[in-house]
């Protein structure tokens, strides 16, 4: 083959659409039934449109692991757009997540879980149970020490070392708890089929642990998984479930969506930090440190292709660079992703490919593996360009991620 595939050619490689309603967990669904009927739905989850909010992820996971039928309404986060007026009429604070249950609206993630437990029973322990009091306190302790290290600028080596030491002391407590667990979970639950999975004690940890794993390796060069093997095993257990996989972000997404949410993230420049962040930014990714499971790369490449084809008109429209050059360059990258062939377009636009590569969001747009393969192919073709102009993602907001162009999912 010596020609870039046309859109008609690329269309032949697409996979079938997944069943968003009754199939595996996915970020595109507006309704989840688990084999029930719409008449059985009495819960509506209001969550962020980009799947960036850790508190929304907590409720999303709880509903999925419990297999409670629910509807989904997607709302803007403040850091990338204005809240929808109809949502502000319903929830004056604009807080996410929120649920609506038979006309009653509840906010605050822990209160939502306590309310849902009262209606549907627990997942593992009840969130208010005595055996989870210290676990919940530890989660907040780890969160605070992470924020102090990541988000507060250190003015000298001693100050930074102290913040790092406090985080390591806190996170070691969780690793110790997990070392004593036969199941590998903090608070194991047992499904109707006898499978052991995470309970609410695990679900309160996983959203921020996912973000700690990404942010510390990117901004500090600190590898959480290689330093804490029981936490690594715990993350691997989560990653083995399709429920968690449908919600999981990747290192690139978190590294660039966290600064606007947390008021900034400060880099600790060192050899590992430079190497890790470069691998993340170029799209290469960090392999098992990011996602520790086996996968079929050809299948996930086809998922990435399907998502690009679905939105290609809008992708071309919102790209700020020459449309014709971008369109051909994009097909070149997709051709490489599907066939492995490197065919350079006549008018290669590296900066337009870079713009797209930097804005792939996981899981909003596609699963982690699909995003990794797409970024790698975009980077492969982009690297052949003489144009090295850098176009930085805004650090103080993410309004460049205007969801109105892609609301159809």
Confirm if 221 and 272 have CB atoms less than 8 A apart: yes
- Rounded-to-integer distance, Cα 342 and Cα 337, Å: 9
Say if residue 82's pLDDT is above 90: no
Domain at 130-289: CATH code: 1.20.1050.10
Q: Where are the domains of the chain?
A: 42-120, 130-289, 296-406
DSSP 340-352: ------TT--HHH
Cis status of the peptide bond prior to 363, with omega within 30 of 0: yes
Tokens of 213: 């794993």
Q: CA–CA distance from 198 to each of 56, 64, 186, 227, 291 (Å)?
A: 17, 12, 8, 22, 17
CA atoms within 13 A on the CB side of 344: 13
Confirm if 50 and 364 have CB atoms less than 8 A apart: yes
Confirm if 139 and 170 have CB atoms less than 8 A apart: no
pLDDT 10s digits, 233-260? 999 999 999 999 999 999 999 999 999 9
Lowest mean pLDDT among 151-155, 223-227, 321-325, 342-346: 151-155
Helices (H), 72-132: 85-90, 109-120
pLDDT band at 1 (very low <50, low <70, confident <90, very high): low
Crossing angle of helices 251-262 and 271-282, in 10° steps, is 110
Say if residue 117's pLDDT is above 90: yes
Using left for φ > 0, alpha for ψ between -120 and 50, and beta otherwise, residue 110 falls in alpha
pLDDT 10s digits, 200-224? 999 999 999 999 999 999 999 999 9
Say if residue 317's pLDDT is above 90: yes
**H or E stretch at 17:** none
pLDDT at 408: 57
Report the SS3 class of residue 362: coil
Say if residue 17's pLDDT is above 70: yes
> Across the chain, what does the average pLDDT equal?
94
**H or E stretch at 147:** helix 133-151
DSSP 216-255: HHHHT---HHHH-HHHHHHHHHHHTSHHHHTT---HHHHH
Question: What average pLDDT score do residues 22-33 get?
Answer: 97
- Rounded-to-integer distance, Cα 254 and Cα 212, Å: 9
Burial of 407 (0-12, 13-18, 19+ CB in 10 A): exposed
pTM: 0.95
- Rounded-to-integer distance, Cα 232 and Cα 105, Å: 37
Q: CATH homologous superfamily for 42-120?
A: Glutaredoxin (3.40.30.10)
């Amino acid at each position: 083959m010596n020609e870039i595939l046309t859109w008609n050619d690329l269309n032949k490689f697409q996979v079938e659409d997944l069943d968003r309603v009754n199939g595996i967990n996915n970020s595109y669904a507006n309704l989840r039934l688990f084999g029930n009927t719409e008449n059985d739905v009495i819960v509506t989850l209001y969550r962020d449109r980009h799947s960036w909010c850790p508190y929304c992820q907590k409720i999303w996971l709880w509903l999925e692991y419990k297999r409670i039928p629910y509807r989904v309404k997607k709302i803007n986060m403040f850091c990338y757009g204005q809240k929808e007026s109809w949502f502000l009429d319903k929830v004056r604070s604009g807080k996410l997540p929120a649920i609506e249950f038979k006309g009653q609206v509840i906010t605050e993630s822990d209160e939502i879980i306590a309310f849902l437990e009262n209606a549907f029973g627990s997942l593992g322990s009840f969130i208010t149970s005595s055996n989870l009091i210290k676990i919940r306190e530890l989660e907040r302790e780890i969160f605070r020490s992470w924020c102090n290290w990541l988000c507060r600028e250190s003015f000298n080596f001693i100050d930074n070392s102290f913040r790092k030491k406090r985080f390591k002391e806190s996170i070691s407590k969780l690793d110790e708890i997990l070392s004593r667990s036969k199941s590998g979970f903090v608070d194991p639950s047992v499904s109707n089929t006898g499978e052991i999975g995470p309970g609410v004690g695990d679900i309160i940890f996983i959203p921020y642990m996912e973000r700690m794993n990404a942010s510390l390796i990117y901004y500090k060069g600190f590898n959480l998984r290689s330093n804490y093997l029981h936490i690594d095993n715990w993350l691997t257990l989560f990653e083995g479930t399709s429920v968690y996989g449908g919600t999981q972000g990747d290192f690139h997404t978190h590294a660039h969506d966290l600064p606007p949410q947390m008021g900034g993230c400060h880099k600790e420049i060192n050899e590992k930090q430079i190497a890790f962040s470069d691998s993340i930014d170029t799209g290469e990714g960090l392999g098992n440190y990011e996602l520790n499971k086996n996968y079929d790369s050809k299948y996930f490449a086809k998922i990435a292709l399907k998502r690009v084809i679905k939105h290609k008109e809008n992708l071309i429209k919102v790209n700020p660079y020459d449309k014709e050059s971008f369109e051909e360059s994009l097909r070149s990258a997709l051709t490489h992703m599907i066939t492995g062939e490197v065919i350079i377009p006549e008018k290669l636009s590296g900066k337009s490919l870079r713009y797209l590569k930097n804005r792939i969001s996981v899981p909003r747009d596609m699963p982690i593996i699909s995003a990794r393969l797409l970024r790698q192919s975009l980077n492969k073709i982009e690297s052949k360009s003489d144009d090295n102009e850098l176009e930085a993602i805004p650090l103080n907001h993410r309004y460049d991620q205007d969801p109105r162009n892609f609301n159809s999912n």
